[in-house]
Amino acid sequence: MHKTKRIKITDLNPNLICPLCVGYFIDATTIVECLHSYCKSCIVSFLERNNYCPQCEGQGQKTPTQLSIRPDQALQDIVYKLVPGLFKDEMKRRRDFYAGHPAANGLDTLNGERGGVREQERSIIAEDEIISLSIQFHGKSGNDLKTSDTKDSDGELTNSKRFLRCPAAMTVTHLVKFLRSKMDIPSTYRIEVLYEDELLKDYYTLMDIAYIYTWRQNGPLPLQYRVQPTCKRHRPSSSSVLSPLPLAHSDGVSESDSLSDKPLSPPATPPGQSSLPTPAQSNPSPAHNSAQVRPLANTARNNNNNQKNCSHGPAGDV
């Protein structure tokens, strides 16, 4: 399974910045002919002085006019959701502008242009925003830990629905730690958080869940959890480990077979050393030592007698 990689907002800036003002898109507008996007105020003022796209510069494209541009609401929502606090700051600037220019309030402008649109109406969630959620036990699996009969310190059932207020930047991992400590769940069981029977990733934030599953903020964010035993990994035993196969020679005979056919020879004696046992290696029993010395003395005496007999023999025998 591939691990999800979180990228930085700076890596996406080329797709979120207007080429004219070099700022994030505000009221993103796209030219129909070439599909290049700009801020609405930037492209309108540019087309009043020019009759070409700032990026295409008339390279075989139809001359764009103010009638060939369209608001790109999908792109603007992406920018607001990716850039923290951009929507709130933009709405505040618009409210401050219309508060300082009372004559502009009489114009036929939309509520959003005057900065009266709330973040909830646009489904824009800030990282520091507090989200209301509900969490309850999901007991449809047969392997789940039976917690319906246990009670906490307040006397409430552990599978009853609970309501929490958490920051939008809180991850599922933090919620799992809270449930483990609150419900006193042992470490031999794992806790899984679900949204509409779909398992959530541990690195998901509440803001991610709201964006992925299009939560409309018309009620608490409905979450569920389940408790299952942790699967243990079986390590292979030493007996099940296969021994390495013997190497085969070029003639087809294995190395173990060739070694078994050769007679075992005593190890060679290093030069300068005697093959006789050293005193430290001999048996310390005195009786055994005398039995070993006598044959050597008799052998030396017999050799001397043989030499004497040879020296006194007849000259012809010599």
pLDDT at residue 74, rounded to an integer: 93
**Rounded alpha-carbon distances, angstroms, from residue 190 to 2, 122, 206, 239:** 21, 36, 20, 32
Correct CATH for 130-229 of 3.40.50.150, 3.10.20.90, 3.40.50.970, 3.30.365.10: 3.10.20.90
Instruction: Answer whether 148's CB lies under 8 Å from 158's CB.
Output: yes
> Could you say which DSSP state residue 50 is in?
-
pLDDT at residue 88, rounded to an integer: 86
Residue 90 parent element (H or E): helix 86-100
Residue 166: name the closest of 202, 220, 115, 119 by CA: 220
pLDDT at residue 71, rounded to an integer: 94
Measure the CA–CA gap between 165 and 130, rounded to whole angstroms: 6
Residue 71, helix vs strand vs coil: strand
Measure the CA–CA gap between 246 and 259, rounded to whole angstroms: 11
Listed in order, strand segments (DSSP E) in 152-205 are 162-167, 189-195, 198-199
pLDDT at residue 5, rounded to an integer: 77
> Could you say which DSSP state residue 307 is in?
H
List, in order, residues 6 or more apart from 92 with CB less than 8 Å away: 115
3-state helix, strand and coil shares in percent for the chain, rounded to the nearest 5: 35, 15, 50
Q: In what order do the strands lie in the sheet with 28-31?
A: 37-39, 28-31, 69-71
pLDDT at residue 107, rounded to an integer: 55
User: Domain segments of the chain: what residues?
Assistant: 10-122, 130-229
Instruction: Answer whether 38's CB lies under 8 Å from 16's CB.
Output: no
pLDDT at residue 310, rounded to an integer: 47
Measure the CA–CA gap between 21 and 168, rounded to whole angstroms: 31
What are the tens digits of pLDDT across the range 79-125? 998 888 898 889 889 888 888 877 666 554 555 555 555 555 557 88
Measure the CA–CA gap between 195 and 109, rounded to whole angstroms: 39
Predicted confidence pLDDT, tens digits, the chain (318 residues): 466 777 888 899 999 999 999 999 999 999 998 899 999 999 999 999 988 899 987 665 667 777 889 999 999 999 998 888 898 889 889 888 888 877 666 554 555 555 555 555 557 888 888 999 999 998 654 455 544 444 454 444 445 789 999 999 999 999 999 999 998 899 899 999 999 999 999 999 999 999 899 888 889 999 999 998 887 665 655 555 555 555 555 455 444 454 445 445 555 555 555 545 554 444 444 444 444 445 544 554 555 555 544 444 444 443
Q: Say yes or no: domain 10-122 is CATH 3.40.50.720.
A: no
